[in-house]
Amino acid sequence: MISILRRVPLTLSSPVYKIMESSNMVGGSQRLLNLARQLRLYKPSPPPSDDYDDLEERGSEEAAGKVVSQVGFAESATSVEYEGRFRPKRAAVLICLFEGDAGDLRVILTKRSSKLSTHSGEVSLPGGKQEEGDKDDADTATREANEEIGLDPSLVNVVTVLEPFLSKHLLRVVPVIGILSDKKAFEPAPNADEVDAVFDAPLEMFIKDENRRSEEREWMGQKYLIHFFDYEMENKKYLIWGLTAGILIRAASVVFQQPPAFLEQKPNFKVPRGADRAPAQSKDGTGTTWNQVMDSEDLTLKILAEELRLYKPPHSIPIQQSGSDSESARRKPNRAAVLICLFQGENGDLHVILTKRSSTLSSHSGEVSLPGGKREEGDADDIETAMREAKEEIGLDPSLVNAVTVLEPFVNKRGMIVVPVVGILSDKKAFVPAPNASEVEAVFDTPLEMFLKDENRRAEEREWMGDKYLLHYFDYEAENERYVIWALTAGILIRTASIVYQRPPAFLERKPKFWSRIVN
């Protein structure tokens, strides 16, 4: 947590000095001058007493001899090496405020590029991860804003930082508030690789109950609300939600000095308890810290696993009821299971393993499917069915996969019950695909989030027994091969992605009713 409660010596290089110096440079209206003065006095709330990670970070900063300021820290001349618990990676976003033509306070936002592997097409604040060479959080935020939208840091007067937000994937995001006195001096130049559009919205919108909706979510047993704000500008519609909405609700509350006109019920994401224990000594006798062992990939998958274990499928069969002691489960000849095997890709996004069925098969030949198949006598449960089939089809050793949950069954037209089993592959390099040529022609993977996006997707309306529904087709290319993921496989992956990312698809789904027939 960044502290502003301590007195620090002011030097020409001090971030505090720079903030005070910038007060002489603030132009624009008297309102912006007053706002700058108000925000410089803002003191972020201390972390909850049980937030051991925040407390740990504050303690480690002191132990390392760091001088903490309003906008970051500077190393002292004599630093002390400190090896503590796992600390999340750090990022900063810029809440750039200016006065609109109507005299209202507005904030600059971006729509992320559709080319990005994660959160593509979503609305966000300019910002990104801290890089080597960044002096502080303000430096990170303004550098990223310059790279993303061409906002010259000299145009922005940084006045304060807010409390850090911890994302679900344990990225510590520090909101930096800056004031743009001369909006006309800023000509947006979006980086096409990162940003599709630059726009602005009234800050006060985020404490009003208009054009807002919310959804209840659950994480590690804790219920919270995700807020969605609908906004239209220049005939373009934007949806501001999730962490970005949460940060803007907080910023608006601080600026206007009033709480939102709705129940906020924020999430309280934390580092899992296991991450506060130091690991054992390595074989070479050197100490190993959680920052070395629990890197972002390991920790993201660990959190995902813990979250999915708490998932409760609606109208479904609990895992234990499909076990070896369930005679009814044993007698189901029309039952199958598929493995949704997730792993983290090179860009940090979640990928799922898929297969292209052999052209020699009598049914669904050449189509894309998830590894899996019918239950066989001797399978203890749906998990064992999915794991066995994955090993037989693509050589995936069950010992490499951590099965974390099952989703609600899907029922195809012929009455076959298909149970999706979600598993996590922590070490992708340990898996060397060995496709069974009689069943599988190719093994490949796709980003899971793709199945929530409206890109590379088409749909056809179908009808079955008077029920009209949509079949979705996703086009994907990997290693110069083109694949079409559709029908039941696409439906299962849409459902999986909705659960993992905790949001609905960006298109009308309209599933067939027979998929969700009651399973006894």
SS3 180: strand
228 or 23, which is more confident?
A: 228
d(CA 140, CA 7): 23
The answer to whether residues 238 and 231 touch, using CB atoms and an 8 Å cutoff, is yes
- Arithmetic mean of pLDDT, 398-410: 94
pLDDT computed for residue 221 by the predictor: 73
* pLDDT in the model for residue 518: 59
Answer whether 16's CB lies under 8 Å from 70's CB: yes
pLDDT at 295 over 80: no
pLDDT value, residue 328: 46
Contact 145, 126 (CB under 8 A): yes
Cα→Cα distances 406→4, 273, 274, 479, 484, Å: 47, 25, 24, 31, 25
Q: How confident is the model at residue 313 (pLDDT cuts 50, 70, 90)?
A: confident
- In three-state secondary structure terms, 349 is coil
Q: What is the DSSP letter of 281?
A: P
Amino acid identity, residue 356? K
Q: Is the pLDDT of residue 142 over 90?
A: yes
Q: Which pLDDT belongs to residue 130?
A: 93
pLDDT at 375: 94
- CA distances for 81 relative to 50, 64, 205, 360, 477, angstroms: 26, 6, 45, 62, 47
Longest dimension (CA), the chain: 80
**Nearest to residue 368, comparing CAs of 400, 401, 393?**
393
* pLDDT interval class at 189 (50, 70, 90): very high
Q: Quickly tell me which residue has 């899971």 as its tokens.
A: 448
Q: Which residue has the higher pLDDT, 21 or 389?
A: 389
Mean pLDDT of 173-182: 95
DSSP state of 427: -
What number of residues does the chain have? 520
The yes or no reply on domain 298-516 and CATH 3.90.79.10 is yes
Phi and psi at residue 131, to the nearest 5°: -115, 155
**Residue 61, by phi and psi: left (phi above 0), alpha (psi -120 to 50) or beta?**
alpha
Where residue 519 falls among pLDDT bands split at 50, 70, 90? low
Angle, vertex CA 166, rays to CA 162 and CA 168, nearest 5: 150
Residue 156: what are its φ and ψ, rounded to 5°? -110, 130
Q: What pLDDT does 170 receive?
A: 75
Structural fold of domain 15-256 = Nucleoside Triphosphate Pyrophosphohydrolase (3.90.79)
Sequence ranges of the chain with CATH classification 3.90.79.10: 15-256, 298-516
**Is-contact 73 67, C-beta < 8 A?**
yes
Lowest mean pLDDT among 150-164, 191-205, 360-374: 360-374
Nearest CA among 165, 155, 125, 154 for reference residue 141: 125
Residues with Cβ within 8 Å of 430's Cβ and at least 6 positions away in sequence, in order, are 400
Q: Where are the alpha helices (DSSP H) in 64-158?
A: 137-149
Question: What rounded mean pLDDT belongs to the chain?
Answer: 81
Asked if 34 and 28 count as a contact pair (C-beta separation under 8 A), the reply is no
Confirm if 74 and 137 have CB atoms less than 8 A apart.
no
Q: What is the pTM of this model?
A: 0.64
Q: Is the pLDDT of residue 244 over 80?
A: yes
Strand partners, 233: 236
CB atoms within 10 A of CB 186: 18
